[in-house]
Every structure is written in structure tokens, then in C-alpha cells.
Amino acid sequence: PKGYAPLTDPQSSFYARRIYGRIHDCWNRPIASAPGPWVDVLERESLEGRTRATRALPPTGARRRCLNLGSYNYLGFAASDPYCTPRVLGALSAGGVSPCASRACGGALPVHSELEAMVAEFVGAEDAIAYGMGFATNSASLPVLCGPGALVLSDALNHTSIVAGVRSGGAAVRVFRHNDMRHLEALLRYHIAEGQPRTHRPWKKILIVVEGTYSMEGESPPLAAIVSLKKRYGAYLYLDEAHSIGAMGGTGRGLCEHAGVDPRDVDVLMGTFTKSFGSAGGYVAGSRAVIAYLRRHSPAHLYAAALAPGAAAQVVAALRLMRGEGGGGRGAAKVAQLHGNAHYMRRRLIAMGLHVLGDWDSPVVPVMVYHVGLLGAISRALLRRRVAAVVVGFPATPLLLCRLRICVSAAHSREDLDYALDAIRDVAEVAGIDYARPAGRLW
Ligand code: PMP
């Protein structure tokens, strides 16, 4: 088109209105309470009796108490925890909401160093650096670590913050099929010869980037195989543990613990505080040299306001709980509770004939729908039964691989899960997504 382009792309808003408008109207309602196992969902115009909701309906002010299956609050530390919350409030009243300055320019607080030391010790790395935002932890660290001349081998299902980071760095990017080690090895072989010294390659460095638990699949990569590949071909490994830290491994130390891999074999361990820790922000952990380099060069460290003191205090308190130190040692049992809930949910959903993805321990439990036209109806039918669960479709997943994504938490009781399972069984039967149910189908 000729002329000056409008700020909003009319084509994208056409699709956004037609497709996402419907899907997003399902369960993206504002919630009026802390993200505990039950939440108050603000009602839009009445859901009852409507056959289709075409766009965001106006809020009515009414609240609906719903079981929360959409939150990343995996260990239940986010909402009104008797150990964490008073410490957060104390940090807030002492230090305010934000330091209003970057770490490099007067925004550094003692709680930041305390937090970084605790994170490094927890994940088994030499040092760590904390950032004010999880997304920016990826999107601003990756370009610093791999600029022009570097080759990035990235899993096809990596999170958009990783994609943003590797693209903006200017490195060459090759995408390998999700969790496909043969494809990863084929790409490595194509770009370098096995045993070729690092100094005699066309690449300054090669970085393999994977996630600890994929947020739409609930599954983990074969970490031991990736570590052996990266050693064989002299590449580096970057592991995004946003969904696996706190949730995977016997004590919540993430995928390395789960897979029995030495964390020092992973060059960069990245994670966010927005899931298991119930806070905000993110971290990168690794060798002293890598972290010192990030402190000197990372724009999110140098030019963005430092992590809020309340958010940092929440992570410190959650880490103490997980190490079994505070709150009478009850925190240490949370990970086992989360795994018990995830196993129970998966077992019961599979018994209903649903197609469930992911690892048994993973708190992300995707239930395949395979029919984009059903997503909105499923979400609204669950909401009517007071179950708030996220449905995801394109572009977060391929168009036909749309799904209902359930997130379980250690804060859910068995009664909560049974309540959810009853609602899901009713809805799945009516929607006909219980593809593997042995008998009783009408067609
Ligand atoms: N990495 C992954 C794998 C994620 O799933 C997310 C968001 N859920 C992020 C990074 C960004 O984290 P945050 O939401 O804390 O900004």
C-alpha cells in the first residue's frame, strides 16, 4: 500500500477481532482477588443463555467464585501465604514499591544481593543475576550472549521471549523440531564437523536454547542427551526454567535435578520468579564469568529499574520455605504435594478418555481439543460450572493442536481437583473431546 502506514495494521486487527476476540472473551476476565486456588472472577454481561459471545462484554461488577486452573502459582506461595506475605509487606513499607532506579545507578538494595546468592546456591551455579521482568530476562540477556557471528539452535516451541532475544541479537538462528535430538544433531553436524576445534569454525560460538518445561506442552527436553550433544560438538547450552524451577525435581531445583544432570553442565540457567515463587522478575544463573559479563553489558540490568523490593522479599521467603527453613518446614513438602496433584489429575483425565500431554510431574496439564471451534464453548461451559481454565489456540499452538491447558498447584486440595474433574468430564462428554473413551459414544 502507498502512503504512510497506520500505526495499527488493519489486516491484523481483522483477524484479531474475528478469531481471537471470540477466544479471548472466554477466560480473560479480570480477577478481583489474589491468585489462590479459588479466585473471584469479575463477570461480564451474563454468560447464561448466550449462545455466542462476539466481543468483550461490559463488566457487570458481579463476581463469580471459580476454581483457579489458570495460574502459575504452582507451589501456592503467591496468595496470602502466612510466611511470605508479612515479609513482603515489611519490605514494601521499608523500601516502597519500586527502587525507581536501575541497579547500576542507585537502585541496588541489599535484598537483591541476598536474593542472587540464594538463587545461585539453590540452582547449583556459581553466581546469579536478578532482573525486574521475566520476559526481559530472556529478551535482553540472549542478545548480549549471542550477537552477530554466533549460531543459535533453538527448539521450535521455545517461548516468544526467547525468540525475541535471539532475533534481536543478530545471531544466525536455526530451529530444530521440538525435542527431536536427531534433528538437533543433524543441524550441529551440518554446521560444524565433530571434533572440529572451536577456534577453527565459521561461528564465534554455538548456543543451544531449550526450555525446562514447555509452557503449552507440559513436557521437558531430554536434558542428558542435549548435554552430551553440546559437549560432543563444543556448543553452549541455555536452559529456560520458567516453568520447571520450583516444580520439577524432588526438591524443586528444576530440570537438572529431575533429569539427574549436573547443573554445572548447563552454561546458562535462566528462570522467572512469576511461577513457583509467586513473585515478579527473573534470573540468570551460571559461572562467575558469565554473570559478571551480564552485569557489565545487559541492558535490562543497566538501563531498567531494579527488581521491586517486595518482589525480591517474596522470592527470598519462598526460597527459605523450599529449603525447609521458615514456616515450620512446611514449604519443603509443597513440591511433593504439587507432584501428587499433577499425577492425580493426569491419571483421572486419561481414565476419562482425554488426550493429555506432558510429563507426569509437570504442573502444566494440556488436554487436547483438536477443534478450534470448540475452544470458546469449552471455556464458557467450564466457567459456568465455576472452573476457570485457560484454552489456547493459534498462535500459541498450531491451529489444529488447540487445547485446554490446566495448571495444577500444591494449593489445590483433592476436593478441588475432584470438583474440577467432575466439571471437565461433563464438558468433555458434551463437546466430544473424550477421544479415547472406550464405549458409550453416540457415533
Ligand atoms: N520464559 C517462558 C518459558 C515463559 O513461559 C514465560 C512466560 N510465561 C517467560 C519466559 C516470561 O516470564 P514472565 O511472565 O515472568 O515475564
pLDDT in tens, 128-163: 999 999 999 999 999 999 999 999 999 999 999 999
CB atoms within 10 A of CB 75: 25
> What is the pairing mode between strands 205-211 and 236-240?
parallel
Q: Look up the ipTM and state it.
A: 0.98
Identify the CA nearest to 125 among candidates 313, 323, 265, 277: 265
CA 91 to CA 81: how far, in whole Å?
A: 15
Residue nearest to atom 12 of ligand 1 (CA): 134
Which amino acid would we find at residue 236? Y
* Distance from residue 183's CA to the centre of ligand 1 (Å): 26
Residue nearest to atom 13 of ligand 1 (CA): 134
* Ligand 1 pocket test, candidate residues 157, 272, 392, most atoms within 8 A of CB: 272
CB atoms within 10 A of CB 423: 20
Average pLDDT over residues 32-46: 82
* Distance from residue 5's CA to the centre of ligand 1 (Å): 31
* Distance from residue 281's CA to the centre of ligand 1 (Å): 9
In this prediction, residue 18 carries a pLDDT of 60
The grid coordinates listed for 313 are 522479599
Does 28 have pLDDT greater than 90? no
pLDDT above 90 as % of the chain = 74
Contact 14, 45 (CB under 8 A): no
In this prediction, residue 54 carries a pLDDT of 47
The grid coordinates listed for 397 are 499452538
Does 51 have pLDDT greater than 50? no
CA 138 to CA 289: how far, in whole Å?
A: 18
CA 98 to CA 375: how far, in whole Å?
A: 39
In this prediction, residue 17 carries a pLDDT of 58
Contact 218, 364 (CB under 8 A): yes
The grid coordinates listed for 71 are 495460574
Q: 375-431 pLDDT, tens per residue? A: 888 988 999 899 999 998 887 888 889 999 999 999 999 999 999 999 999 999 999
220 lines ligand 1 (CB under 6 A): no
Does 6 have pLDDT greater than 90? no
Q: Rg for the chain (alpha carbons), in Å?
A: 23
* Ligand 1 pocket test, candidate residues 73, 135, 240, most atoms within 8 A of CB: 135
Q: 275-323 pLDDT, tens per residue? A: 999 999 999 999 999 999 999 999 999 999 999 999 999 999 999 999 9
272 lines ligand 1 (CB under 6 A): yes
Atom of ligand 1 nearest to the CA of 273: 15
Residue nearest to atom 14 of ligand 1 (CA): 134
161 lines ligand 1 (CB under 6 A): yes
CA 203 to CA 180: how far, in whole Å?
A: 23
Contact 337, 409 (CB under 8 A): no
CA 57 to CA 438: how far, in whole Å?
A: 40
In this prediction, residue 58 carries a pLDDT of 62
Contact 83, 326 (CB under 8 A): yes
Beta strands per DSSP E along 57-168:
59-68, 127-131, 150-155
Confidence tier at 263 by pLDDT (50, 70, 90) = very high
Domains detected in the chain: 10-68+339-431 (3.90.1150.10), 84-322 (3.40.640.10)
* Distance from residue 160's CA to the centre of ligand 1 (Å): 8
**Helix (H), strand (E) counts: the chain:** 15, 13
Residue nearest to atom 10 of ligand 1 (CA): 135
pTM: 0.93
Q: 108-128 pLDDT, tens per residue? A: 999 999 999 999 999 999 999
* Distance from residue 134's CA to the centre of ligand 1 (Å): 6
70 lines ligand 1 (CB under 6 A): no
